[in-house]
């Protein structure tokens, strides 16, 4: 799905045109219309590959939708897709080897095995102990548990 999504996006908002980007940051994802979660430019810089190669100096929205390849959308029209991230989340890529819990290194596959409950309990414990740093480590800039619950539900046969 990776390539197709970008093409579709470019049709909606041709390259070099500021398009509906501003609207997008406020209303919803251009790809999937999910509500975007506001994140800072600094957060985007810490997540994307080679931020120096991009103009990252705006407010961004994070798209939480599983399967939607768009991750960050800037008010100026900048878009970062799963492939632009150093560690794209498993629910965006569909790859079970990719991360879901960025603080404690749990991946998609961990939640598709018999160890899923143990992994979830471990994460909850660590959160209660104040050991997580999701605001920095997670592309969503938020707690991973919601996305893990959703992931487990969606991966069930």
Q: Which residues bind Zn ion (CB under 5 A)?
A: 29, 31-32, 34, 63, 65, 68, 70
**Cβ closer to Zn ion: 25 or 132?**
25
3-state secondary structure 83-108: HHECCCCHHHHCCCCCEEECCCCEEH
The DSSP secondary structure of 139-150, one letter per residue, reads TTSS-SHHHHHH
Residue closer to Zn ion, measured from CB, 35 or 105: 35
Taking the least distance from each CB to Zn ion, the nearer of 64 and 123 is 64
CA proximity to 36, closest of 77, 64, 75: 64
Q: How far is the CB of 102 from Zn ion (least distance, A)?
A: 19
Instruction: Give the nearer residue to Zn ion in terms of CB position, either 88 or 132.
Output: 88
The two tokens of residue 148 are 């893990």
Q: Is the distance from CB of 100 to CB of 92 less than 8 angstroms?
A: no
> Distances in Å between the alpha carbon of 92 and those of 2, 20, 22, 62, 74?
10, 23, 23, 12, 18
Rounded to the nearest whole angstrom, what is the least distance from the CB of residue 12 to Zn ion in the complex?
A: 12
Q: How far apart are CA 52 and CA 54, in angstroms?
A: 5
What minimum distance in Å lies between the beta carbon of 140 and Zn ion? 12
Evaluate whether 22 touches 58 at the Cβ level (below 8 Å).
no
Question: Cβ of residue 73: shortest distance to Zn ion, in angstroms?
Answer: 8
Please, what is the minimum distance in Å from the beta carbon of residue 55 to Zn ion? Answer: 21
* Comparison of 63 and 85: residue with beta carbon closer to Zn ion: 63
């Amino acid at each position: 799905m990776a390539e197709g999504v970008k093409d579709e996006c470019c049709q909606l908002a041709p390259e070099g045109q500021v398009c509906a980007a501003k609207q997008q940051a406020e209303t919803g994802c251009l790809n999937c219309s999910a509500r975007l979660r506001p994140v800072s430019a600094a957060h985007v810089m810490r997540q994307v590959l080679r931020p120096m190669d991009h103009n990252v100096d705006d407010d961004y929205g994070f798209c939480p939708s599983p399967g939607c390849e768009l991750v960050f959308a800037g008010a100026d029209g900048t878009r970062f897709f799963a492939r632009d991230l150093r560690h794209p989340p498993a629910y965006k890529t569909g790859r079970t080897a990719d991360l879901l819990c960025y603080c404690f290194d749990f991946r998609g596959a961990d939640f598709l095995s018999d160890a899923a409950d143990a992994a979830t309990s471990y994460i909850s414990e660590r959160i209660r102990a104040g050991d997580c740093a999701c605001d920095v480590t997670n592309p969503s800039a938020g707690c991973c548990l919601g996305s893990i619950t959703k992931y487990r539900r969606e991966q069930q046969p």
